[in-house]
Structure 1
Protein backbone atom coordinates (compact mmCIF):
# COMPACT_ATOMS: atom_id res chain seq x y z
CA UNK A 1 0.00 0.00 0.00
CA UNK A 2 1.02 3.60 -0.57
CA UNK A 3 0.38 5.69 2.54
CA UNK A 4 -0.15 9.43 2.13
CA UNK A 5 1.92 11.71 4.32
CA UNK A 6 0.92 12.26 7.92
CA UNK A 7 -0.99 15.50 8.36
CA UNK A 8 0.84 18.23 10.28
CA UNK A 9 0.29 21.92 10.86
CA UNK A 10 0.45 23.54 7.45
CA UNK A 11 -0.80 20.49 5.55
CA UNK A 12 -3.24 21.42 2.81
CA UNK A 13 -6.70 19.83 2.73
CA UNK A 14 -9.08 20.19 -0.21
CA UNK A 15 -12.74 20.23 0.81
CA UNK A 16 -14.23 18.73 -2.34
CA UNK A 17 -17.94 18.03 -2.81
CA UNK A 18 -17.50 15.24 -5.35
CA UNK A 19 -20.91 13.83 -4.36
CA UNK A 20 -23.37 16.05 -2.48
CA UNK A 21 -22.79 19.71 -1.71
CA UNK A 22 -24.03 21.62 1.34
CA UNK A 23 -27.40 23.35 1.06
CA UNK A 24 -27.90 26.73 2.71
CA UNK A 25 -29.65 25.39 5.81
CA UNK A 26 -26.56 23.33 6.72
CA UNK A 27 -23.95 25.98 6.03
CA UNK A 28 -23.69 27.26 9.64
CA UNK A 29 -22.67 23.71 10.57
CA UNK A 30 -20.20 23.64 7.69
CA UNK A 31 -18.64 26.90 8.91
CA UNK A 32 -18.05 25.37 12.35
CA UNK A 33 -16.48 22.24 10.89
CA UNK A 34 -14.18 24.22 8.61
CA UNK A 35 -13.13 26.42 11.53
CA UNK A 36 -12.35 23.31 13.58
CA UNK A 37 -10.03 21.97 10.87
CA UNK A 38 -8.34 25.33 10.47
CA UNK A 39 -7.84 25.54 14.24
CA UNK A 40 -5.68 22.41 13.95
CA UNK A 41 -3.32 24.38 11.74
CA UNK A 42 -4.37 22.93 8.39
CA UNK A 43 -4.77 25.03 5.26
CA UNK A 44 -8.05 24.62 3.42
CA UNK A 45 -8.79 24.74 -0.29
CA UNK A 46 -12.54 25.01 -0.88
CA UNK A 47 -14.32 23.51 -3.85
CA UNK A 48 -16.17 26.31 -5.72
CA UNK A 49 -19.27 24.07 -5.77
CA UNK A 50 -19.12 23.20 -2.07
CA UNK A 51 -22.17 25.30 -1.13
CA UNK A 52 -24.43 24.11 -3.94
CA UNK A 53 -26.69 21.07 -3.92
CA UNK A 54 -29.27 20.17 -6.55
CA UNK A 55 -30.75 16.72 -7.13
CA UNK A 56 -28.27 15.26 -4.63
CA UNK A 57 -25.11 16.62 -6.27
CA UNK A 58 -22.99 19.76 -6.02
CA UNK A 59 -22.59 20.07 -9.81
CA UNK A 60 -22.88 18.02 -13.02
CA UNK A 61 -20.67 14.93 -13.00
CA UNK A 62 -18.18 16.34 -15.51
CA UNK A 63 -17.55 19.40 -13.34
CA UNK A 64 -17.24 17.33 -10.17
CA UNK A 65 -14.83 14.92 -11.84
CA UNK A 66 -12.70 17.76 -13.22
CA UNK A 67 -12.51 19.46 -9.83
CA UNK A 68 -11.64 16.20 -8.09
CA UNK A 69 -8.93 15.40 -10.65
CA UNK A 70 -7.45 18.85 -10.12
CA UNK A 71 -7.09 18.18 -6.40
CA UNK A 72 -5.88 14.60 -6.84
CA UNK A 73 -3.13 15.71 -9.21
CA UNK A 74 -2.05 18.71 -7.12
CA UNK A 75 0.91 17.45 -5.11
CA UNK A 76 0.70 20.41 -2.74
CA UNK A 77 -2.53 18.90 -1.40
CA UNK A 78 -2.22 16.24 1.31
CA UNK A 79 -5.84 15.19 1.85
CA UNK A 80 -9.34 15.48 0.40
CA UNK A 81 -12.28 15.77 2.78
CA UNK A 82 -15.77 15.93 1.29
CA UNK A 83 -18.31 17.64 3.55
CA UNK A 84 -20.24 14.36 3.72
CA UNK A 85 -21.39 11.54 1.46
CA UNK A 86 -24.34 11.60 -0.89
CA UNK A 87 -25.69 9.44 -3.68
CA UNK A 88 -23.72 9.65 -6.92
CA UNK A 89 -19.95 9.51 -6.39
CA UNK A 90 -20.23 6.44 -8.62
CA UNK A 91 -20.81 8.72 -11.62
CA UNK A 92 -17.24 9.97 -11.41
CA UNK A 93 -15.40 6.65 -11.40
CA UNK A 94 -15.13 6.23 -15.16
CA UNK A 95 -14.33 9.93 -15.67
CA UNK A 96 -11.07 9.85 -13.69
CA UNK A 97 -7.70 9.38 -15.42
CA UNK A 98 -6.10 6.58 -13.43
CA UNK A 99 -2.91 6.60 -15.50
CA UNK A 100 -2.27 10.20 -14.48
CA UNK A 101 -3.28 9.48 -10.89
CA UNK A 102 -0.80 6.60 -10.70
CA UNK A 103 2.00 9.15 -11.08
CA UNK A 104 0.58 11.58 -8.51
CA UNK A 105 1.39 11.80 -4.82
CA UNK A 106 -1.13 9.73 -2.80
CA UNK A 107 -3.60 11.79 -0.79
CA UNK A 108 -5.82 10.82 2.10
CA UNK A 109 -9.50 10.54 1.11
CA UNK A 110 -11.32 11.06 4.41
CA UNK A 111 -14.94 10.28 5.32
CA UNK A 112 -17.60 7.59 4.98
CA UNK A 113 -20.91 6.80 3.28
CA UNK A 114 -20.72 7.66 -0.45
CA UNK A 115 -17.12 8.79 0.17
CA UNK A 116 -16.25 5.09 0.38
CA UNK A 117 -17.24 4.65 -3.28
CA UNK A 118 -14.17 6.69 -4.26
CA UNK A 119 -11.99 5.40 -1.43
CA UNK A 120 -12.35 1.79 -2.51
CA UNK A 121 -11.66 2.62 -6.15
CA UNK A 122 -8.40 4.40 -5.31
CA UNK A 123 -7.35 1.86 -2.68
CA UNK A 124 -7.95 -1.23 -4.83
CA UNK A 125 -6.94 0.20 -8.20
CA UNK A 126 -4.03 2.48 -7.26
CA UNK A 127 -3.00 1.04 -3.90
CA UNK A 128 -3.61 4.34 -2.06
CA UNK A 129 -4.52 3.91 1.59
CA UNK A 130 -7.69 5.82 2.50
CA UNK A 131 -9.41 6.73 5.75
CA UNK A 132 -12.99 5.59 6.45
CA UNK A 133 -14.02 7.72 9.41
CA UNK A 134 -16.25 10.60 10.53
CA UNK A 135 -17.27 13.06 7.83
CA UNK A 136 -16.15 16.68 7.93
CA UNK A 137 -19.65 17.88 8.88
CA UNK A 138 -19.44 15.81 12.07
CA UNK A 139 -16.13 17.29 13.20
CA UNK A 140 -17.37 20.28 15.18
CA UNK A 141 -15.62 21.54 18.33
CA UNK A 142 -18.17 19.97 20.71
CA UNK A 143 -17.58 16.47 19.31
CA UNK A 144 -15.47 15.15 22.17
CA UNK A 145 -16.25 11.41 22.30
CA UNK A 146 -13.22 9.11 22.44
CA UNK A 147 -13.91 7.37 19.12
CA UNK A 148 -14.02 10.64 17.19
CA UNK A 149 -10.99 11.95 19.03
CA UNK A 150 -9.04 8.92 17.78
CA UNK A 151 -9.38 10.35 14.26
CA UNK A 152 -7.27 13.37 15.21
CA UNK A 153 -4.51 11.01 16.33
CA UNK A 154 -4.75 8.76 13.27
CA UNK A 155 -4.19 11.59 10.80
CA UNK A 156 -0.83 12.36 12.43
CA UNK A 157 0.56 8.87 11.75
CA UNK A 158 2.94 7.96 8.98
CA UNK A 159 3.98 4.72 7.31
CA UNK A 160 5.17 2.13 9.79
CA UNK A 161 3.22 3.52 12.73
CA UNK A 162 0.21 1.96 14.43
CA UNK A 163 -2.79 2.86 16.59
CA UNK A 164 -5.46 0.99 18.54
CA UNK A 165 -9.19 1.49 19.07
CA UNK A 166 -11.86 -0.10 21.25
CA UNK A 167 -15.68 0.07 21.20
CA UNK A 168 -17.46 3.30 22.05
CA UNK A 169 -19.52 3.47 25.23
CA UNK A 170 -22.67 4.84 23.60
CA UNK A 171 -23.92 5.48 20.07
CA UNK A 172 -26.37 7.80 18.36
CA UNK A 173 -29.70 6.25 17.33
CA UNK A 174 -31.59 9.50 16.74
CA UNK A 175 -29.65 12.29 15.03
CA UNK A 176 -29.36 15.72 16.59
CA UNK A 177 -30.94 18.63 14.73
CA UNK A 178 -27.88 20.33 13.28
CA UNK A 179 -29.94 22.89 11.39
CA UNK A 180 -31.49 24.38 14.52
CA UNK A 181 -28.35 23.76 16.61
CA UNK A 182 -25.30 23.74 14.31
CA UNK A 183 -22.88 23.27 17.19
CA UNK A 184 -24.57 20.19 18.66
CA UNK A 185 -22.48 16.99 18.99
CA UNK A 186 -23.70 13.42 18.61
CA UNK A 187 -26.76 12.40 20.59
CA UNK A 188 -25.08 9.42 22.28
CA UNK A 189 -27.92 7.72 24.14
CA UNK A 190 -27.74 4.00 23.28
CA UNK A 191 -25.39 1.48 24.84
CA UNK A 192 -22.79 0.11 22.41
CA UNK A 193 -22.58 -3.68 22.21
CA UNK A 194 -20.29 -5.20 19.59
CA UNK A 195 -21.32 -8.80 18.96
CA UNK A 196 -19.69 -11.79 17.28
CA UNK A 197 -20.49 -14.94 15.33
CA UNK A 198 -17.97 -17.72 14.71
CA UNK A 199 -15.32 -15.58 16.39
CA UNK A 200 -12.26 -17.55 17.55
CA UNK A 201 -10.56 -17.09 20.90
CA UNK A 202 -7.46 -15.71 19.21
CA UNK A 203 -6.33 -12.66 17.28
CA UNK A 204 -7.78 -12.28 13.79
CA UNK A 205 -5.81 -10.22 11.28
CA UNK A 206 -5.82 -9.02 7.69
CA UNK A 207 -5.69 -5.99 5.42
CA UNK A 208 -8.75 -3.76 5.79
CA UNK A 209 -11.00 -2.86 2.90
CA UNK A 210 -14.63 -1.80 2.88
CA UNK A 211 -17.28 0.88 3.03
CA UNK A 212 -20.99 1.54 2.59
CA UNK A 213 -22.63 -1.56 1.16
CA UNK A 214 -25.48 0.50 -0.32
CA UNK A 215 -23.05 1.95 -2.87
CA UNK A 216 -20.14 -0.47 -3.17
CA UNK A 217 -22.46 -3.38 -3.92
CA UNK A 218 -22.86 -1.72 -7.34
CA UNK A 219 -19.12 -1.36 -8.02
CA UNK A 220 -18.11 -4.79 -6.72
CA UNK A 221 -16.44 -6.96 -9.39
CA UNK A 222 -15.93 -3.94 -11.60
CA UNK A 223 -12.60 -2.18 -12.30
CA UNK A 224 -13.48 0.12 -9.38
CA UNK A 225 -13.77 -2.61 -6.75
CA UNK A 226 -11.96 -5.76 -7.76
CA UNK A 227 -12.11 -7.47 -4.39
CA UNK A 228 -10.83 -10.79 -5.74
CA UNK A 229 -7.66 -9.13 -7.04
CA UNK A 230 -7.19 -7.21 -3.77
CA UNK A 231 -7.43 -10.46 -1.81
CA UNK A 232 -4.98 -12.14 -4.17
CA UNK A 233 -2.53 -9.26 -3.80
CA UNK A 234 -2.56 -9.59 -0.02
CA UNK A 235 -2.92 -13.35 0.20
CA UNK A 236 -0.04 -13.60 2.68
CA UNK A 237 -1.65 -11.15 5.14
CA UNK A 238 -5.26 -12.00 4.38
CA UNK A 239 -8.10 -9.49 4.11
CA UNK A 240 -10.76 -8.23 6.51
CA UNK A 241 -13.84 -6.81 4.80
CA UNK A 242 -15.92 -4.22 6.67
CA UNK A 243 -19.36 -3.08 5.54
CA UNK A 244 -22.11 -0.84 6.83
CA UNK A 245 -25.74 -0.38 5.85
CA UNK A 246 -27.41 3.01 5.48
CA UNK A 247 -30.75 2.23 3.85
CA UNK A 248 -31.00 -1.45 2.90
CA UNK A 249 -33.98 -3.27 4.38
CA UNK A 250 -33.39 -6.63 6.09
CA UNK A 251 -34.50 -8.43 2.93
CA UNK A 252 -32.19 -6.34 0.71
CA UNK A 253 -29.42 -6.83 3.28
CA UNK A 254 -29.84 -10.61 3.09
CA UNK A 255 -29.74 -10.54 -0.71
CA UNK A 256 -26.53 -8.48 -0.61
CA UNK A 257 -24.90 -10.92 1.83
CA UNK A 258 -25.90 -13.86 -0.34
CA UNK A 259 -24.46 -12.09 -3.39
CA UNK A 260 -21.12 -11.72 -1.56
CA UNK A 261 -21.31 -15.40 -0.67
CA UNK A 262 -22.32 -16.69 -4.12
CA UNK A 263 -19.55 -14.75 -5.85
CA UNK A 264 -16.98 -16.36 -3.56
CA UNK A 265 -15.89 -13.21 -1.76
CA UNK A 266 -16.67 -14.44 1.74
CA UNK A 267 -14.41 -17.45 1.22
CA UNK A 268 -11.53 -15.12 0.30
CA UNK A 269 -11.53 -13.05 3.51
CA UNK A 270 -10.40 -13.74 7.06
CA UNK A 271 -13.28 -11.92 8.76
CA UNK A 272 -16.32 -9.73 8.14
CA UNK A 273 -16.93 -6.58 10.19
CA UNK A 274 -20.42 -5.07 10.13
CA UNK A 275 -21.53 -1.67 11.37
CA UNK A 276 -24.80 -0.86 13.08
CA UNK A 277 -27.78 -0.73 10.73
CA UNK A 278 -29.22 2.73 10.23
CA UNK A 279 -32.14 1.56 8.08
CA UNK A 280 -35.56 1.19 9.67
CA UNK A 281 -37.22 -2.24 9.77
CA UNK A 282 -40.52 -1.92 7.93
CA UNK A 283 -41.12 -5.64 7.53
CA UNK A 284 -41.35 -7.14 11.02
CA UNK A 285 -41.06 -10.68 9.65
CA UNK A 286 -37.28 -10.38 9.41
CA UNK A 287 -34.75 -8.30 11.32
CA UNK A 288 -31.08 -7.70 10.50
CA UNK A 289 -29.74 -10.31 12.90
CA UNK A 290 -32.10 -12.94 11.51
CA UNK A 291 -31.00 -12.00 7.99
CA UNK A 292 -27.36 -12.39 8.97
CA UNK A 293 -28.01 -15.83 10.47
CA UNK A 294 -30.07 -16.88 7.45
CA UNK A 295 -27.14 -16.06 5.13
CA UNK A 296 -25.20 -18.93 6.79
CA UNK A 297 -21.77 -17.32 6.66
CA UNK A 298 -19.15 -19.54 8.26
CA UNK A 299 -16.29 -17.10 8.85
CA UNK A 300 -15.57 -14.87 11.87
CA UNK A 301 -18.10 -12.03 11.98
CA UNK A 302 -18.25 -9.02 14.25
CA UNK A 303 -21.37 -6.85 14.05
CA UNK A 304 -23.10 -3.82 15.56
CA UNK A 305 -19.73 -2.08 15.38
CA UNK A 306 -18.93 1.65 15.35
CA UNK A 307 -18.99 1.83 11.56
CA UNK A 308 -21.41 3.84 9.48
CA UNK A 309 -24.53 5.95 9.82
CA UNK A 310 -25.12 5.55 13.56
CA UNK A 311 -22.24 7.53 15.04
CA UNK A 312 -19.56 7.48 16.29
CA UNK A 313 -17.27 6.06 13.60
CA UNK A 314 -14.06 4.15 14.03
CA UNK A 315 -11.16 5.30 11.87
CA UNK A 316 -10.52 2.38 9.52
CA UNK A 317 -7.66 2.68 7.06
CA UNK A 318 -8.17 0.83 3.83
CA UNK A 319 -5.03 -1.19 3.21
CA UNK A 320 -3.73 -1.11 6.77
CA UNK A 321 -2.89 -4.39 8.50
CA UNK A 322 -5.48 -4.84 11.24
CA UNK A 323 -5.23 -7.17 14.22
CA UNK A 324 -8.36 -7.77 16.31
CA UNK A 325 -7.86 -9.34 19.73
CA UNK A 326 -10.38 -11.53 21.57
CA UNK A 327 -10.91 -8.48 23.84
CA UNK A 328 -12.20 -6.58 20.75
CA UNK A 329 -9.29 -4.20 20.41
CA UNK A 330 -8.44 -3.16 16.85
CA UNK A 331 -4.79 -2.43 16.15
CA UNK A 332 -3.97 -0.99 12.73
CA UNK A 333 -0.45 -0.80 11.37
CA UNK A 334 0.39 1.33 8.34
CA UNK A 335 2.58 -1.17 6.50
Structure 2
Protein backbone atom coordinates (compact mmCIF):
# COMPACT_ATOMS: atom_id res chain seq x y z
CA UNK A 1 0.00 0.00 0.00
CA UNK A 2 1.33 3.47 -0.90
CA UNK A 3 1.95 5.71 2.12
CA UNK A 4 1.74 9.50 1.79
CA UNK A 5 3.82 11.74 4.05
CA UNK A 6 2.46 15.27 4.62
CA UNK A 7 4.43 18.53 4.40
CA UNK A 8 3.51 20.83 7.31
CA UNK A 9 4.95 24.08 8.61
CA UNK A 10 7.46 23.56 11.39
CA UNK A 11 8.86 20.41 9.78
CA UNK A 12 12.43 20.06 8.56
CA UNK A 13 13.44 19.73 4.93
CA UNK A 14 16.72 17.96 4.28
CA UNK A 15 18.54 19.06 1.16
CA UNK A 16 21.03 16.65 -0.36
CA UNK A 17 22.42 16.40 -3.88
CA UNK A 18 22.25 12.77 -5.01
CA UNK A 19 23.01 13.97 -8.53
CA UNK A 20 24.25 17.51 -9.25
CA UNK A 21 25.30 19.93 -6.56
CA UNK A 22 25.42 23.70 -6.68
CA UNK A 23 28.53 25.26 -8.17
CA UNK A 24 30.04 28.15 -6.15
CA UNK A 25 28.85 30.86 -8.55
CA UNK A 26 25.23 29.82 -7.80
CA UNK A 27 25.48 29.48 -4.01
CA UNK A 28 23.75 32.84 -3.44
CA UNK A 29 20.81 31.83 -5.61
CA UNK A 30 20.50 28.50 -3.80
CA UNK A 31 20.79 30.18 -0.41
CA UNK A 32 17.82 32.36 -1.40
CA UNK A 33 15.76 29.21 -1.97
CA UNK A 34 16.65 27.99 1.53
CA UNK A 35 15.83 31.36 3.09
CA UNK A 36 12.45 31.48 1.35
CA UNK A 37 11.57 28.03 2.71
CA UNK A 38 12.56 29.14 6.21
CA UNK A 39 10.41 32.25 5.80
CA UNK A 40 7.50 29.97 4.84
CA UNK A 41 7.85 28.17 8.19
CA UNK A 42 10.13 25.20 7.46
CA UNK A 43 13.52 24.37 8.90
CA UNK A 44 16.14 23.56 6.27
CA UNK A 45 19.21 21.35 6.75
CA UNK A 46 21.65 21.24 3.85
CA UNK A 47 24.12 18.43 3.41
CA UNK A 48 27.70 18.86 2.24
CA UNK A 49 26.96 17.53 -1.25
CA UNK A 50 24.72 20.51 -1.99
CA UNK A 51 27.66 22.94 -1.97
CA UNK A 52 29.87 20.91 -4.35
CA UNK A 53 29.88 20.26 -8.10
CA UNK A 54 32.55 18.66 -10.24
CA UNK A 55 32.28 16.79 -13.53
CA UNK A 56 28.46 16.51 -13.62
CA UNK A 57 28.02 15.38 -10.00
CA UNK A 58 28.16 16.74 -6.49
CA UNK A 59 30.50 14.07 -5.10
CA UNK A 60 31.54 10.44 -5.65
CA UNK A 61 28.55 8.04 -5.72
CA UNK A 62 29.22 6.57 -2.27
CA UNK A 63 29.31 10.03 -0.63
CA UNK A 64 26.05 11.03 -2.31
CA UNK A 65 24.46 7.74 -1.27
CA UNK A 66 25.68 8.00 2.33
CA UNK A 67 24.32 11.52 2.73
CA UNK A 68 20.95 10.57 1.24
CA UNK A 69 20.82 7.42 3.40
CA UNK A 70 21.56 9.51 6.50
CA UNK A 71 18.79 11.97 5.68
CA UNK A 72 16.34 9.13 5.03
CA UNK A 73 17.03 7.65 8.47
CA UNK A 74 17.57 10.83 10.51
CA UNK A 75 14.74 11.49 12.97
CA UNK A 76 15.18 15.27 12.68
CA UNK A 77 14.51 15.40 8.93
CA UNK A 78 10.90 15.06 7.76
CA UNK A 79 11.21 15.55 3.99
CA UNK A 80 13.92 15.68 1.33
CA UNK A 81 14.14 18.04 -1.62
CA UNK A 82 17.32 17.98 -3.77
CA UNK A 83 18.61 21.31 -5.10
CA UNK A 84 17.92 20.08 -8.64
CA UNK A 85 18.40 17.07 -10.90
CA UNK A 86 21.46 16.30 -12.98
CA UNK A 87 22.77 13.30 -14.86
CA UNK A 88 24.39 10.67 -12.62
CA UNK A 89 21.92 9.78 -9.86
CA UNK A 90 21.81 6.22 -11.20
CA UNK A 91 25.29 5.67 -9.68
CA UNK A 92 23.83 6.13 -6.19
CA UNK A 93 21.01 3.57 -6.25
CA UNK A 94 23.14 0.44 -5.75
CA UNK A 95 24.58 1.93 -2.53
CA UNK A 96 21.24 2.61 -0.81
CA UNK A 97 19.60 0.44 1.85
CA UNK A 98 15.92 1.00 1.06
CA UNK A 99 14.82 -1.32 3.88
CA UNK A 100 16.09 1.08 6.57
CA UNK A 101 14.56 4.26 5.12
CA UNK A 102 11.84 6.05 7.03
CA UNK A 103 8.61 7.29 5.48
CA UNK A 104 9.63 10.68 4.14
CA UNK A 105 8.40 12.76 1.27
CA UNK A 106 10.96 13.24 -1.51
CA UNK A 107 10.11 15.92 -4.04
CA UNK A 108 11.91 16.62 -7.31
CA UNK A 109 12.18 16.03 -11.04
CA UNK A 110 14.72 15.50 -13.79
CA UNK A 111 17.43 13.06 -12.68
CA UNK A 112 15.71 12.84 -9.27
CA UNK A 113 12.98 10.81 -11.00
CA UNK A 114 15.22 7.71 -10.93
CA UNK A 115 15.34 7.94 -7.13
CA UNK A 116 11.61 8.61 -6.86
CA UNK A 117 10.73 5.53 -8.88
CA UNK A 118 13.15 3.24 -7.03
CA UNK A 119 12.01 4.47 -3.60
CA UNK A 120 8.31 4.02 -4.33
CA UNK A 121 8.75 0.57 -5.89
CA UNK A 122 11.04 -0.73 -3.14
CA UNK A 123 9.29 0.80 -0.10
CA UNK A 124 5.76 1.85 -1.02
CA UNK A 125 6.52 5.42 0.07
CA UNK A 126 4.82 7.94 -2.20
CA UNK A 127 7.09 10.45 -3.87
CA UNK A 128 6.28 13.58 -5.85
CA UNK A 129 7.43 14.57 -9.30
CA UNK A 130 7.56 18.31 -8.71
CA UNK A 131 9.85 21.26 -8.09
CA UNK A 132 13.39 20.93 -6.84
CA UNK A 133 14.46 23.32 -4.07
CA UNK A 134 15.97 25.85 -6.49
CA UNK A 135 12.55 26.12 -8.16
CA UNK A 136 11.02 27.29 -4.86
CA UNK A 137 12.97 30.54 -4.59
CA UNK A 138 10.12 32.80 -5.69
CA UNK A 139 8.43 35.11 -3.19
CA UNK A 140 5.14 33.28 -3.65
CA UNK A 141 4.19 29.69 -4.48
CA UNK A 142 1.19 28.67 -6.54
CA UNK A 143 -1.43 26.45 -4.89
CA UNK A 144 -0.08 23.22 -6.40
Q: TM-score, normalised by structure 2?
A: 0.93
In structure 1, stretches of 5+ residues that fail to align are 152-335
Q: Which structure has greater strand proportion? A: 1
In structure 2, stretches of 5+ residues that fail to align are none
Structure 1 match to 2:143: 150
* Equivalent residue for 1:113, pick from 98, 110, 114: 110
What is the Cα deviation at residue 141 of structure 1?
2.5
Structure 1 match to 2:4: 3
Cα distance in 2 between the residues matched to 1:99 and 1:128 = 11
Cα distance in 1 between the residues matched to 2:100 and 2:127 = 18
Which has the higher Rg, Structure 1 or Structure 2?
1
Cα distance in 2 between the residues matched to 1:134 and 1:98 = 23
* Equivalent residue for 1:136, pick from 133, 137, 141: 133
Alignment of 1:226-305 (within 5 A): none
Deviations 1:184-211 (A, max 9, x none): xxxxxxxxxxxxxxxxxxxxxxxxxxxx
Structure 1 match to 2:53: 53
What is the Cα deviation at residue 78 of structure 1?
1.1
Q: TM-score, normalised by structure 1?
A: 0.41
Residue 77 (structure 1) aligned with residue 63 (structure 2): no
**Aligned-residue CA RMSD in angstroms?**
1.3
Cα distance in 1 between the residues matched to 2:65 and 2:94 = 9
Structure number with higher relative contact order (C-alpha < 8 Å, ≥ 6 residues apart): 2
Q: Give the 3-state SS of the residue equivalent to 2:13 in structure 1.
A: strand
Poorly superposed stretches of 4+, deviation over 4 Å: none
Deviations 1:256-307 (A, max 9, x none): xxxxxxxxxxxxxxxxxxxxxxxxxxxxxxxxxxxxxxxxxxxxxxxxxxxx
